[in-house]
A = this chain, B = another copy of it.
Amino acid sequence: MTTTPIPSAEASASEEFLRLDRQICFSLHAASRAFNSVYRVVLKDLGLTYPQYLVMLVLWEHGELPVKSLGEHLRLDSGTLSPLLKRLEAAGLVRRERSREDERSVRVHLTDEGTALKKRALLVPTRIVTATGFELEDIMDLHARLDRLTQALDAAALEEAPGCV
């Protein structure tokens, strides 16, 4: 308390860093929520939330998947997926069945209603792209940067992990 190891000049540099940090982490946070918010409006017609839409996108593409694979595609664990899938099942869009070969695994597949919903969902991407006001090129670029960021962050998270040998 009595010691002031950092001269005021350097202190203000650190404060600058804090302000920058606020701007950066806030940017991503805010962008994610703004995106979420637009999706919420667009998806309301389909009766889906944003994460539910992500699950449906994967299912429309792959047809049928065990919960485990679904989680790998979306980087979500069972703690998030289990209740979400339960809601999708309650909505009549998917059905879950224990695999007979491996009874630990639960296979998620689309119902007819779930499959039919895809037709209406085809209009969603265009509306979203329009909402961003970005050219497709810009979006692809942002996409690449974000993926690179996620990859780096995941790698860093692993290094930070206590179980590093």
Q: Which residues of A contact B (CB under 8 A)?
A: 14-15, 17-39, 41-42, 50-51, 53-54, 57-58, 60-61, 74-75, 118, 121-122, 124-126, 128, 130-134, 138-139, 142-143, 145-147, 149-150, 152-157, 160
Contact = CB atoms under 8 A, between A and B. Distances in A.
Q: How many copies does the complex hold?
A: 2
B37 A143 contact: no
26 contacts: A18-B60, A18-B61, A18-B122, A18-B124, A21-B125, A21-B128, A22-B61, A24-B128, A25-B53, A25-B128, A27-B142, A27-B143, A29-B32, A29-B36, A30-B75, A30-B146, A30-B147, A31-B149, A31-B150, A34-B150, A35-B149, A38-B157, A132-B149, A132-B153, A133-B152, A138-B145
